[in-house]
């Protein structure tokens, strides 16, 4: 058995919300930056229902002026068995 990191979607969503607020941005601001028609994707990120795609994560990190690793919250509790 090997421990592997797993993204904690709820904590990552809470982190996105906290970082957005720290940056002084509203959900509407992010909606405009990403060119989304509705804010639903951003709310889903913040609620931990969905994660940003890799390209959106790159943009989000740049907008929030943090590293992508600063956005994602991981948990090492997951174990997988590697078979040869």
Q: What is the pLDDT of residues 5-55, one digit of tens each?
A: 889 999 999 999 999 999 999 999 999 999 999 999 999 999 999 999 999
Domain that holds residue 64: 2-80
> What is the C-alpha separation between 66 and 58, in angstroms, rounded?
10
Q: What is the pLDDT of residues 51-77, one digit of tens each?
A: 999 999 999 999 999 999 999 999 876
Residues, the chain, total? 84
Task: Read off the CATH number of the domain in which 54 is found.
Answer: 1.10.260.40
Buried b (16+ CB within 10 A) or exposed e, 11-29: ebbebbbebbeeeeeebee
pTM: 0.86
- Work out whether the CA dihedral 23, 31, 27, 6 comes out positive or negative: negative
Domain count, the chain: 1
């Amino acid at each position: 058995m090997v421990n592997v990191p797993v993204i904690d979607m709820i904590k990552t969503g809470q982190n996105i919300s906290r970082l957005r607020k720290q940056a002084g941005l509203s959900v509407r601001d992010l909606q405009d930056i990403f060119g989304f028609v509705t804010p639903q994707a951003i709310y889903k990120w913040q609620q931990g229902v969905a994660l940003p795609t890799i390209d959106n994560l790159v943009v989000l990190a740049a907008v929030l002026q943090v590293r992508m690793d600063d956005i994602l919250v991981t948990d090492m509790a997951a174990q997988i068995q590697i078979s040869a």
